[in-house]
Structure 1
């Protein structure tokens, strides 16, 4: 096969064998047409030689990328404009806002009136129908009032719990129920003093105990609700349990915790940290994923955590991002063994976030 040094590779050459990094990850797949910037990437990864189509040293003329492939570089503003347009006019956002309004109304009246479970299910189904346009790291509600944090957390946890149930290979009959578990997991907060939920300073022991009672309050509120299964009720009760027994309210361990609760625990932590609160700024989704990974050992289900991180960070090369230092760039390669720290191109230079540990992706732009 025609093996040539990276220094001899010309833009337009086609790779005929996967290019693998020294660490064993696939950098470029067979069939890829080399772009000018790709040569920099090969050099950055210390790749010495590649196999290309044609005689050694005689590359074919530059050919366009095949239809349907995504270029690594966004050369015009079209993608960004389409993304911004989608954020303001997408059916997903329309259904999200209807769901948010219904959840707000339902939560506020649940202590005095039956939960409108059939209306909630109908709207949840309408929202799930738009799930193809939902990406956990990319989706942002049109308007976020920090006073509505609990309602946003409920709807986002519903969407994410549905996705996690899918990704983890649970039976399809559990997907919608997992979404219900996410939607209703914090309903017990309606019986907790709102000043405690929004208190910016540390809670006293008695205050913390009262806030923690939202789990048992939630189970009690859902105990007689029809059209949801026991797993949904248990998710409200158990979503703060930890697999090592250190959680609350019952200090359950491992298999004692319902798998809906394990799913919701991951979704809830992620959205709790990435949503704006009255007393705390929203955090970077990538930073939160790293915290979930490093702080979850013995606490969260490891399979759910790993699956969640791998699936949410599976973004195409060329995805535009903003770094924690304010600079804008785009993802050019993600090593699946370090999914939260891809290589990005910023201002014409390649930044390896696996090495630059003080930097991280603040947000995904498009």
Structure 2
């Protein structure tokens, strides 16, 4: 609905992109409106914004940041346990209960709709011990965010998020010993592991009428340059939802700790995903991820490769992953100081 900027409320969500009179892109569709966004619209002399219909006031109003994050963490842990039950059902019956999935996911999505600090959420999730259940939930929630940043409707965002949560359901049919194996797999083991995409397709196809989540389970390891599996599809043949979930899945995969180097920093992970957007992954989805996450790094504390702790002050528009940082009273431009990098972003 078309609303005057002075009538916008905290939590309103844009239905469409906003441009100023000079044609400059000010805010993307899907943005959650708060006082900073309203101030930005006023500075650009924008009078009206097209927002989604408002829903009834929720139970999150009045929570401070710490209370909100505590509640989010509790809901997250509860939802992970719920997905464990969903995977067990898939293992024992070969099917899943769609209503159970919806019931587990909707509370998390409602909380995500009220959080602006995406980076803090990503940091919180990356601190979890990785298993198939919280991996699936993280991919689903990031897929939900990505879909909203790409301008999908609220209902489509939920469906894409749900498909993301179910993308690895086929692994319920892969032996736990193989799933947990840390050593390099032989060819037979790799072949069996890759079959989880087809197993997932079959489980979802037999459980719900919508074919899109089944295609996501089948295609989330396909790559736009044809190097993926199981079918070696090219960009034009991959379902749009699958492209979004593939980006979310790769991002979450890369945040996992490495046996040799430990857990990588979020900026390092984002840079790797950004590079994959030039061939393997959907450039549009990768650009949305980069464009939305980078501004949230500003103001965050960061650990530098030289051991110093800094605060990120500004993102360099010509070198996204080498920001201007402040160390005590000293400013350091990492696009100039090439021997120093950001190793870790902190909440």
TM-score, structure 1 as length reference:
0.71
Where does residue 245 of structure 1 map in the other structure? 226
Where does residue 363 of structure 1 map in the other structure? 344
Cα distance in 2 between the residues matched to 1:134 and 1:151: 25
Specify whether residues 335 and 102 from structure 1 end up closer, same or farther in structure 2 by C-alpha distance, changes over 3 A only. same
By how many angstroms is 1:332 displaced?
Answer: 1.0
Specify whether residues 142 and 245 from structure 1 end up closer, same or farther in structure 2 by C-alpha distance, changes over 3 A only. closer
Specify whether residues 129 and 311 from structure 1 end up closer, same or farther in structure 2 by C-alpha distance, changes over 3 A only. same
Provide structure 2 residue ranges, at least 5 long, that are not aligned to the other structure.
1-38, 41-63
Instruction: Confirm or deny: 8 A CA contact 1:320 1:364 kept in the other structure.
Output: yes
Where does residue 118 of structure 1 map in the other structure? 99
By how many angstroms is 1:272 displaced?
Answer: 0.9
Where does residue 256 of structure 1 map in the other structure? 237
Where does residue 325 of structure 2 map in the other structure? 344
Cα distance in 2 between the residues matched to 1:238 and 1:336: 33
Q: How many residues align?
A: 282
Where does residue 307 of structure 1 map in the other structure? 288
CA displacement 1:194-214 (0-9 Å, x = unmatched) = 233332222111111111111
Provide structure 1 residue ranges, at least 5 long, that are not aligned to the other structure.
1-67, 70-81
- Structure 1 vs Structure 2 CA RMSD: 2.5
By how many angstroms is 1:163 displaced?
Answer: 0.8
Please tell me whether residue 209 in structure 1 is matched to residue 187 in structure 2: no
Structure with a larger share of its residues in helix:
2
By how many angstroms is 1:142 displaced?
Answer: 9.5
Q: 2:159 aligns with which of 177, 180, 183?
A: 177
Counterparts of residues 53-202 of structure 1 (less than 5 Å): 85-86=66-67, 90-113=70-93, 114-131=95-112, 132-133=114-115, 135-139=117-121, 140-141=124-125, 144-146=128-130, 149-202=131-184
Cα distance in 1 between the residues matched to 2:241 and 2:184: 30
Instruction: Confirm or deny: 8 A CA contact 2:303 2:309 kept in the other structure.
Output: yes
Q: Which runs of 4+ in 1 moved over 4 A?
A: 277-280
Larger radius of gyration: 1
By how many angstroms is 1:182 displaced?
Answer: 0.9
Cα distance in 1 between the residues matched to 2:343 and 2:221: 27
CA displacement 1:233-268 (0-9 Å, x = unmatched) = 100000010111111001111121001110011101
Where does residue 301 of structure 2 map in the other structure? 320
TM-score, structure 2 as length reference:
0.74
